[in-house]
Amino acid sequence: MGRWTPAGIGALAALGFGAPVQVVVATEYLSVEGAQKALFPQADHFSELVLSLSPAQHERVAGLAGPQPPHRSLRAFRALHADQLLGYVFIDEVIGKEDFITYAVAIDASGRLSAPEVLAYRESHGGEIRSPAWRRQFAGRQGLEQLRVQTDIKNIAGATLSCEHVTEGVRWLTALWQVALQGATAPG
């Protein structure tokens, strides 16, 4: 029978009694193309936009949207049927608690929001934001006055930061639409 050495006991203690290990499962649920079709099934094509805001527009969006979590990337697409603009699909990434959540949301030509689609979730907790009941809270809302965290959009216990940050991200996208895209009628 072997003897336990101080080094062996230390290694065992580090494995069993060390800092808790957080297991993060990065899950991809939907592609960009899948999200586009889910959000605008009647669209026959999508064209990517390059959004370039002036400093004044950026300041206006920030003022309308309010405090924001860190964002990583943003892509925007026109959803079209023939040459008719149906609306826009936005692919955004906001920080959850420690890593980014990739989600998509649509705003139709009249300014109505869709329920967000979660494309990728990279946190160990909070994935409940994929729940249809939580996502449906956004569907049909128009304007920033209908997108207040904990007033209009309720949190989920255990997913508080994810809920708040996605809601704040959708507020940013709604403000962006109001400042830079509202009233556009044809592809350009």
Q: What is the pLDDT of residues 135-160, one digit of tens each?
A: 999 999 998 999 988 889 998 888 88
Single-letter residue type at 157: A
What pLDDT is attached to residue 142?
93
Interatomic CA distance for residues 139 and 133, integer angstroms: 11
What pLDDT is attached to residue 171?
95
Stretches where the chain sits below pLDDT 50 are 9, 12, 15, 17, 19, 21-24
What pLDDT is attached to residue 22?
46
Which among 157, 147, 35 has a CA at the least distance from the CA of 88? 35
What pLDDT is attached to residue 116?
97
Counting Cβ atoms within 10 Å, is residue 38 exposed (0-12), middle (13-18) or buried (19+)? middle
What pLDDT is attached to residue 27?
81
The pTM assigned to this predicted structure is: 0.83
**Is there a contact between 143 and 111 (Cβ–Cβ < 8 Å)?**
yes
* 134-147 core/surface letters (b: 16 or more CB in 10 A; e: else): bbebbeebeebeeb
Q: Return all residues near 115 (Cβ < 8 A) that are at least 6 apart.
A: 105, 132, 135, 136, 137, 138, 139
